[in-house]
Every structure is written in structure tokens, then in C-alpha cells.
Amino acid sequence: MSLLSWLFLLFVGVPLLELFILVQVGQWVGVWPTIGLVVLTGVTGAALARLEGLRTLWKVRGELAHGRLPGSALLDGFAILVGGGLLLTPGILTDLVGFSFLRAPTRKLLLGRIRKGLEGRLASGAIRITHPEGFEGAGGGHRPGPGVRGPEFGDRSGEIVIEAEESGGS
């Protein structure tokens, strides 16, 4: 699936699906209970995101205080930010996904799957990471030579490149 298709699905398909679900729930339980549900999930999500965010901030500080890089805590923080944003977006489907990112057990499961997918794409070469100083490895390139810089010379150092996957028969 191309990037444009994913963006279309994200910005057009998901809101249309959310609108359809909200209309169905509104017809089933009424307009005011549906509005109350949307407001309640937004307020509850903001409070839960704040609580989990502070907990993660303390984890980051603890890791740094012990001289360790807080990689997993930062990934947790990003997931909490995404989850909080989804909960502030009106809709039932986005609320379910948002709560999944805010609750520690489901967040750990989702982040494990995301990490496994990214590792697979790194291993296959679909994602390449390079460094401004250039290094070989992880699918990255090396700087072409001293003084040769810029995209016009093929220098892509410092970029994360995600290439589209080849589809078999589509």
C-alpha cells in the first residue's frame, strides 16, 4: 500500500468510520448520552495521559540518574502522547486505540509489535539510517569523500530513508 493510500485512509477513512459509529451510537442511546460519552472519554483520557506521562517522566529521570539511556521510557512517552491525542479526538474507535496506548499492559504489547515490525524493515533494508559523519552498517551509506556534500552529490547522511515496499501482484 502506498504512502498516499495510507494518508487517505488515515485522514478520510478513519473520520468517516468514526462519524458512522457515532451516528449509530447516537441513534441507539440518544444524542446527549453520545455527546456525554465523547466528552467523558476526552476528560478521562487527558487525566490518564497526564498521570502516565508523569510516571514515564520519572522513569526517564531515574534512568538518566543511573547513567543509562532511557530508550524504552522515551518510546513509552511517545506512545502516551499518541494515545492522549487519540483520546482528545472525538470518536469511539480512536478512543479504544488511545486507551490501548495509555494502559501499560496493552502499550507494552503494541510497542513490542511496532518494534518488531521496525526491526524487520531495518533488517530487510526498507529503512536505512545514516549519520551526519557517515558510517557503514544498518543499511547506511558512507560519505562520498571529503568536501563532497549535499543531495546533488548523493550525500544522504543524517537522513532516515523509508523506501516503499515492492508489492507482489498489485
Q: Give pLDDT, residue 139.
A: 47
Is the pLDDT at 27 greater than 90? The verdict is yes
Q: pTM for the whole thing?
A: 0.68
Q: Give pLDDT, residue 141.
A: 47
Q: Greater confidence, 80 or 125?
A: 80
Neighbouring residues of 47: CB distance < 8 A, sequence distance ≥ 6 = none
How sure is the predictor about 161, in pLDDT bands with cuts at 50, 70 and 90?
low
Q: In the structure grid, which three cell numbers stand for residue 72, read together?
A: 524504552
What is the chain's mean pLDDT, rounded?
80
Neighbouring residues of 138: CB distance < 8 A, sequence distance ≥ 6 = 122, 128, 129
Among 21-35, 42-56, 126-140, the range scoring the smallest mean pLDDT is 126-140
Burial readout 152-161 (b: 16 or more C-beta within 10 A, e: otherwise): eeebbbeeee
Rounded to 5 degrees, what are φ and ψ at 128?
-120, 135
